[in-house]
Structure 1
Amino acid sequence: MVHTCVVAGCRNRRTPGTSLSFYRFPRDPERKQRWIAAVNREGWVPNDGSRLCSTHFISKQVKNPRSPDYVPSVFTVASLAPEMKEPGALEILDKQEARVEAANALLFLQGQGRSAVEHQGQDEQPEEKEQETAVEESASSSLSTDEDDDDDDDQSVSDSKKGKFAHTSDVPVNFDDILKALKRENQALRESVEKMSLSENSLRNDAEKVKFYTGLPNYFVLETVMWLLAPHMDGMKNVKLSKFQQLLLTLMRLRLDLRNQDLAYRFGVKVATVTRTVHRMVNIMSSTLVPTAVFWPSRAELRKNLPAALRASHPDCAVIIDCFTVPFEEPVSTAAGPSYNVFKYLIGVAPQGVVTFVSRGVLGNVSDKSLAEGCGFLCKLLPGDVVLASRDLDIGESVAARGALFKIAGSYQGETETYGRSEGSLLADPSSETVSVQRHVERVISMVKQRYAMLTGPVESPFTTASERTSNLSTFDKIVQVACALNNLCISAAPLE
């Protein structure tokens, strides 16, 4: 089948012996639309037989989105194949320059011959001069055949050529020095590219870069996380990204809340690859990293490292709790109720400053009591434990049913404290203890959100659905848990002082 280029004014065709390539329009909808826009034919839509010739690309079409040849960009009034073009002014100049170079080459060879036979005597010099004069006349006559406005430019080119030949004949070139200089330049360029890339070597000795892109304090912690996750990533077939790049891409998604298209450009992959990688890595980290880093400590561990601020007033404090919400990008509708635009979470923080519990997200402005009773938090409590909060979460009776106590920091202890709730909480004294406990939880929540900006919302709709059929956790629930686990791995927690 004979293909003709679809660009208006381009008469290139696929014929026997042609050196041109003809490309079909890409299947990717976004890239295909950019090709159509580049062709610039109003109301035209390509079909299966539509082709674009290689003269409209700088080199040839490539599938790398960062390459200038990802989309055709070379369009002139008449884009013809080299064998079909008529000679123009530029080609005439090229011919003139070729003649000049040939003439200068003859002059150079003539000079070499003269130095070789210099010992033969003075009587041969007139003949050499005649030959040199003949060569010069030949060069000038060849230049005069094609008159053009750029004669001065041709003359400067000729002079430069003569200078080049004179230099090579007078001063010997040390190719070893040139080779060494090129190797040094090549090594410097490699180091510069490596430093700008997102690879293991570029992060290994740069703690600030690790902290900026991942939220982790240094490369050692990042390498530890990689060591924990690598055995579970063997089933992930991704020829484009290494295991380290998959982890780094996911951490950058959580840390900087970058959009998938941005990450696709940075890592040179498709948007679908980014989406698939993030979901898979979040699932792996949720099942591997979260149980390791987010766990309920034993009572002995809690008492051993209890901060001084609680040692006297609440020595049996097991956890400090609070709730936080994350908005949606678009309201989520349910089959049995109205649309919701917020996720609500219950978070438990140990007095030492690490997250020991985080619930799954609940749609809408659900009550604190319903959230606490339905998320599994109460099952963690032991008889005698003290649950501390800076405000009344209305869960005192539920906590008391587990044999534990719910206390509001700074409140007066009334006679109903047996049931886990103090009537005096309505007249709570805004003491320094209350402020300290409130700031403690807020500091931890704020720290997690600052380290991983994705938790500030708004949540994109693909993350609000259940990530697996066997789990009632949405992908974003897992992201919240993973962010808390990663925060616990950081050296700087938020101890209560």
Structure 2
Amino acid sequence: MVHTCVVAGCKNRRTPGTALSFYRFPRDPERKRRWVAAVNRAGWAPNDGSRLCSTHFISDMKEPGALEILDKQEARVEAANALLFLQGQGSSAAVGPSQGGRHEKEAPEAAVEKSGSSSFSTDEDEEHDEASERDRKKGKFAQMSEISVKFDDILKALKKENRALRESVEKMALSENAFRNDAEKVKFYTGLPNYFVLETVMWLLAPHMDGMKNTKLSKFQQLLLTLMRLRLDLRNQDLGYRFGVKVGTVARTVHRMVNIMSSTLVPTAVFWPSRAELRKNLPTALRASHPDCAVIVDCFTVPLEESASTGMEHGQQETTLPRAEGMAQSHSSLKYLIGVAPQGVVTFVSRGAPGSVSDKSLAEGCGFLCKLLPGDVVLACRDLDIADSVAARGALFKIAGKGEARARSEGSPGPDATSETVVVQRHVERVISMVKQRYNMLTGPVESPFSTACERTSNLSTFDKIVQVACALNNLCISAAPLE
């Protein structure tokens, strides 16, 4: 059906392919009255076939979105009209000009009119379409909100997982924060009792480390690497993997740090106390039996690697210590004399001598006897064959428990002789072995790079300095408990 605009003077008609839209008069009485007034035709009333073309509408006269919806619906109606019109022509050509053909031609128009009527009949239909559109948009917004909530939950979970991973990595990292609040970790890797002691050592050494150029390792990591080398006796390759550096960097770091600690930490922590300090703090267990005890001594040996002992055969390490008669030319160990105050701290440690040297030669050549004063008592848990050398300095060498054993053999043991002997012997053994147990590197074997003398002026090898440093660190540990 061809519609013509009812506005006076308007000749617009709806034909196939036109861009104009034609609108049915609304059924709402008020809206219909306004439309009739806009047509401005006196005494005129619209019927079901009356239409207004889109050229007489402005956007302000229609609800937002309604014109677009009507245009789409009108376009669909026009497409259906064209299709039915073509179908009607095909039927007319087949049937011929007859009454039946005219009936078929009118049927599509009726169908189109019905379709148009159903599309534009009432305001309720338009409001229903707008409500459906709003519901559809609300549904989309709701779906997007749900997706946003899911993304927020996933983001929170990822952040939580990220924090957990960071904390895990931080705990495994060899950094200051990883040791700050973990005393057990400090004790395991460094031998020191807690982070406060480790921080104190770092504070003492830091000013002397300024000249060390190492871009990959911080000052703390250089100290930590060296302490782990002494404490756990880890190989350089292992430490290189742990700290992410080359083996050569590990070796240079250990040698430099040992030199710094030997010149800085050892004089501070390993020293011979005055007689007044010794007697003032003498443990109760020794106060009655050995009130003049100045030091407890013993000797220990550390095996050498085969390459190190072979090097010593060829004179790679020279020593000023006198050789014992008949001493073997091949040396398979290093021997050290260590002195411990009755309170449990190391007060003296000698430089290394060939393992076959006698105790007397070691004591006379290491400077230990120069520390003694007349009247001092040197206590040991076994015979070291240094009694004559000690007596020459006006001091007295005693073996713990020897006098009590002689008294028991004569049948007159003291009431507490046995218990006192056991206590003293256990104390001596515990203090002497404390350093070696705390720093496994002292159990050997000594690698050849550490056994050669690095400073001819002091005739000290790197391993000699390591032993001294281990004794100094031991003195900083609370676990080196005094005898009670």
**TM tier, smaller:** 0.5 to 0.7
Letter in 1 for 2:237: Q
Of 351, 367, 377, which aligns to 2:368? 377
Structure 1 424/187 Cα, relative in aligned 2: closer, same or farther at 3 Å?
same
Q: Distance in 2 between matches of 1:378 and 1:488?
A: 22
Please tell me the root mean square deviation across aligned C-alpha atoms, in Å: 3.2
For residue 298 of structure 2, give the secondary structure of its aligned residue in structure 1. Answer: strand
Q: Distance in 2 between matches of 1:347 and 1:354?
A: 11
3-state SS, counterpart of residue 348 of structure 1: strand
Correspondence 1:486 to 2:484: no
TM-score by length of 1: 0.62
- Structure 1 position 403 matched with structure 2 position 394: yes
Displacement after TM superposition at 1:390 (Å)? 1.6
Distance 1:123 1:181 in 2: 52
In 2, Cα distance between the equivalents of 1:463 and 1:272? 14
Contact map agreement 2:380 2:400 (CA 8 A) in 1:
yes
Q: Distance in 2 between matches of 1:455 and 1:270?
A: 24
Q: Give the whole-Å Cα distance in 2 for the aligned partners of 1:349 and 1:339.
A: 30
Aligned AA for 2:434? M
Query: Are 1:267 and 2:258 matched, yes or no?
Result: no
Q: Pick one of 414, 423, 437 that aligns with 2:424.
A: 437
Is the contact between residue 298 and residue 432 of structure 2 (CA under 8 Å) also seen in structure 1? no
Would you say the 8 A contact 2:285–2:424 is kept in 1? Answer: no
Counterpart position of 1:144: none
CA shift digits 1:393-447 (9 cap, x unpaired)? 111111111111111222349xxxxxxxx99999999944443333222212322
CA contact (8 A) 2:187 2:193 kept: yes
Indicate whether 1:294 and 2:270 are aligned: yes
1:334 is matched with: 313
Shift of 1:300: 0.9
Change over 3 Å in CA distance of 1:167–1:352 after alignment to 2: farther
Residue identity in the other structure for 1:283: N
In structure 2, runs of 5+ residues without a counterpart are 1-67, 79-138, 316-327
Report if aligned partners of 1:307, 1:352 keep a CA contact under 8 Å in 2: yes
> How do 1:190-269 residues align onto structure 2 when only pairs under 5 Å count?
190-269=166-245
Question: Between Structure 1 and Structure 2, whose CA radius of gyration is higher?
Answer: 2
Match for 1:171: what amino acid? M
Aligned partners of 1:386 and 1:405 also within 8 Å: yes
Distance in 1 between residues matched to 2:452 and 2:303, nearest whole Å: 15
Taking structure 1 as reference, are residues 122 and 478 closer, same or farther at Cα in structure 2, changes over 3 Å only? same
Higher relative contact order (CA 8 A, sep 6+): 2
In structure 2, the residue matched to 1:351 is 342
Aligned to 2:438: 451
1:277 counterpart letter in structure 2: T
Asked if 1:278 corresponds to 2:265, the answer is no
CA contact (8 A) 1:440 1:494 kept: no
Q: Distance in 1 between matches of 2:452 and 2:233?
A: 19
Quick one: structure 1 residues 315 and 118, their matched pair in 2 at CA, closer, same or farther if it must change by over 3 Å? farther
**Distance in 2 (alpha carbons) for counterparts of 1:480 and 1:182:** 50
The CA deviation at 1:186 is 3.4
Residue 451 of structure 1, CA deviation: 1.4
Work out whether residues 411 and 425 of structure 1, in 8 Å CA contact, stay in contact via their aligned partners in 2: no
Q: Deviations over 1:28-49 (max 9, x none)?
A: xxxxxxxxxxxxxxxxxxxxxx
| Alignment check: 8 A CA contact 2:216 2:245 kept | yes
Is the 8 Å Cα contact of residues 322 and 346 (structure 1) preserved in structure 2?
yes
Determine what percentage of the aligned residue pairs are the same residue. 81
Structure 2 residue matching 1:171: 3-state secondary structure = helix
Q: How does 1:23-62 map to 2 (within 5 A)?
A: none
State how far apart, in whole Å, the 1-side matches of 2:467 and 2:360 are: 21
Aligned equivalents of 1:219, 1:186: Cα separation in 2:
27
Q: 1:424 to 1:242 in 2, by over 3 A?
A: same
Count of residue pairs the alignment pairs up? 337
Indicate how the Cα distance of structure 1 residues 124 and 228 shifts in structure 2: closer, same or farther if over 3 A, else same: farther
Look up the SS of the partner of 1:319 in the other structure.
strand
Residue of 358, 363, 366 corresponding to 1:367: 358
**Cα displacement (A) at 1:177:** 6.6
Q: Which segment drifts farther, 284-293 or 433-442?
A: 433-442
Query: Which one-letter code corresponds to 2:333 in the other structure?
Result: V
Cα distance 1:123–1:369, how it changes in 2: closer, same or farther (>3 A)?
farther
Pair 1:119–1:364, CA change in 2 (3 A): farther
Question: Scaled by the length of structure 2, what TM-score is found?
Answer: 0.64
Q: Distance in 2 between matches of 1:240 and 1:280?
A: 15
8 Å contact kept, 1:412–1:427: no
Seen in structure 2, the aligned counterparts of structure 1 residues 168 and 495 have a Cα distance that, compared at 3 Å, is: same
Work out the CA distance in 1 between the residues paired with 2:262 and 2:409: 40
Deviations 1:361-389 (A, max 9, x none): 11122111011111110010011111111
CA distance in 1, matches of 2:368, 2:465: 17
Consecutive unaligned residues in structure 1, runs of 5 or more: 1-116, 128-165, 414-421
CA contact (8 A) 1:306 1:352 kept: yes
Out of 367, 372, 387, the position equivalent to 2:378 is 387
Residues 2-52 of structure 1 deviation map (CA, whole Å, 9 limit, x = unaligned): xxxxxxxxxxxxxxxxxxxxxxxxxxxxxxxxxxxxxxxxxxxxxxxxxxx
Structure 2 counterpart of 1:280, which letter? R
Asked whether the equivalents of residues 229 and 288 of structure 1 are also in contact (C-alpha less than 8 Å), the reply is: yes
CA distance in 2, matches of 1:304, 1:325: 33
